[in-house]
Structure 1
């Protein structure tokens, strides 16, 4: 029988984060250059005629919005580089341990590593909320009523997938399954 199960958790290195980081950087840089062109009266972008824009108020606002967009893009790129939220869930029946490992922002709390004994686990809980932004999550419920999320952030899993994963985990850890009716 399989005694160790490891689930990889994708953090901020998702396609959508790359997409938004690129789009925001290009848009922000373009806004910044158009605003700067209106101040310098020089065309910094070859495909626009931005020197006709008045520096006050349009140019200065475009520089401001461009700077904000570049900073947001920088935040996204750093999150991708540091893989914020990435990690793994390890369920080890040989050692009787469950390890939840996640990466955070640099600093003294960069690494989050939670270790639990399997006998301290009360149940696997499934939380399903259907709305415009559906939530389909699997939690590890401990005997002291802590609920630790096991699913990654991003696209919600299909109902059949979440049911299958939760059922497998409950059987693997020999605990009850809560939340699926």
Structure 2
């Protein structure tokens, strides 16, 4: 977050997270292994480069098992490529700008490449009624039966309705969400409401 007397900027993390890199890499390595085993099986070669005396594994027939391994490997490589593209393009990343000199609040997010790659919503400060804290119930846990709650900070506008300021993916504690909402409320000079 950057803060000055007349401007507040919140940077929003998109898909460029360590966990996304990890899962894309893990899916790629596993899929590549399956695909290579399927191709080696089609070519009639032994994937494990050991001598026949050390290892006594029966050959895998290509038609049911080898073809299935190659197919699943190819599908996994496509999925990991998709994940890597999402990470590279930083889908969902962007920023929120509250600018008193321009008298507007801007929300910018990156999307998928194409004609509408970026999304920009501009809201004049006169249209902002309040900052709202939305409390919602998560689904019940399947094994323990526990019910959890989460809280989302939103800007309540006249024309656009509620625009969320925090996301569930941010994994903010309740106090962090309330502090962020209070800080934005003080900066914009609007009330902070709980609904």
TM-score, normalised to structure 1, is 0.88
| Superposed displacement of residue 125, structure 1 | 2.1
Matched, 1:64 2:79: no
Gaps of 5+ in 2: 142-147
CA contact (8 A) 2:150 2:174 kept: no
Computed over aligned residues only, the root mean square deviation of the Cα atoms, in angstroms, reads 2.4
> How many angstroms apart in 1 are the aligned matches of 2:49 and 2:7?
58
> How many angstroms apart in 2 are the aligned matches of 1:84 and 1:142?
25
Which residue of the partner structure matches residue 73 of structure 1? 80
Deviation per CA, 1:21-52, whole angstroms, max 9, x where unpaired?
Answer: 10010011111111112211213465899882
Q: Which moved more, 1:15-24 or 1:148-157?
A: 148-157
Q: Which moved more, 1:111-120 or 1:142-151?
A: 142-151
> How many angstroms apart in 1 are the aligned matches of 2:38 and 2:131?
54
Which residue of the partner structure matches residue 179 of structure 1? 194
Deviation per CA, 1:47-84, whole angstroms, max 9, x where unpaired?
Answer: 89988222121111111111111111111111111111
CA contact (8 A) 1:43 1:51 kept: no
> How many angstroms apart in 1 are the aligned matches of 2:56 and 2:74?
20
CA contact (8 A) 2:153 2:178 kept: no
| Superposed displacement of residue 155, structure 1 | 3.9
Which residue of the partner structure matches residue 145 of structure 2? none
Matched, 1:32 2:47: no
How do residues 5-154 of structure 1 correspond to structure 2 at under 5 angstroms? 5-44=8-47, 46=49, 52-131=59-138, 132=141, 135-144=150-159, 146-152=161-167, 154=169
> How many angstroms apart in 2 are the aligned matches of 1:82 and 1:156?
22
Q: How many residues align?
A: 180
> How many angstroms apart in 1 are the aligned matches of 2:25 and 2:49?
20
Match of 1:161 among 176, 186, 195: 176
CA contact (8 A) 1:42 1:51 kept: no
CA contact (8 A) 1:38 1:50 kept: no
**Greater C-alpha Rg:** 2
What SS does structure 1 have at the residue aligned with 2:169? coil
CA contact (8 A) 2:131 2:191 kept: yes
Gaps of 5+ in 1: none
CA contact (8 A) 1:101 1:111 kept: yes
